[in-house]
Structure 1
């Protein structure tokens, strides 16, 4: 049985779709609502590194104080960006998922399928897009 942890925002459709796909794989994940219980700076740094991303790639701009904080300034260090994420957790893009098979920033939501053992049946996203067929296979692959 694969373990999974999702850094989740229940107000985000992508995050809800990812959570549903994890459950469709027969896994009940640990759900961390990261806006209520933000990861530490060290945990955030590890999540980002384990996902193979740069800190800048993990920043969320839309609906955040990204611009008003001047985070588009390329001279800012990773440490400074991580400080901003720690102070404003909404700046961390979501959802991050950690399983025995890896860590991913799951945007688009079907990216989570890369780190799940398999789906138990069909799955259609909230917008109606089918991503898994009735046999549990990823659509379009």
Structure 2
């Protein structure tokens, strides 16, 4: 396969499915991680967020009292 065709196909797929490029790298004192699923970032934080927190699909991750679900 022509390398250019391969790269074009990757770009087309990323445009059609943007979640494929949503791969945040997070770096803290606790380490570096590719944070997918998004809740993987919670393990790298020094403290829990002070409010309820949901991931991108609406699933609750942290309740109103700061407890991880």
Pairwise TM-score range, normalised by the shorter structure:
0.5 to 0.7
Runs of 4+ in 1 over 4 A off after TM superposition: none
Paired position in structure 1 for 2:50 = 120
Paired position in structure 2 for 1:32 = none
Q: Structure 1 residues 123 and 93, CA, compared in 2 at 3 Å: closer, same or farther?
A: closer
State the Cα distance separating 1:93 from its structure 2 match: 6.6
| Larger CA Rg, structure 1 vs 2 | 2
Alignment gaps of 5+ in structure 1: 1-66, 70-91
Question: Higher helix share goes to which structure?
Answer: 2
Count of residue pairs the alignment pairs up: 52
**Which string of whole-angstrom CA distances, capped at 9 and with x for unpartnered residues, describes residues 37-66 of structure 1?**
xxxxxxxxxxxxxxxxxxxxxxxxxxxxxx
Alignment of structure 1 residues 87-126 onto 2, 5 Å: 94-117=23-46, 118-126=48-56
Question: For 2:44 and 2:56, how far apart are their aligned partners in 1?
Answer: 21
Normalized against structure 2, the TM-score is what? 0.61
Question: For 1:112 and 1:102, how far apart are their aligned partners in 2?
Answer: 10
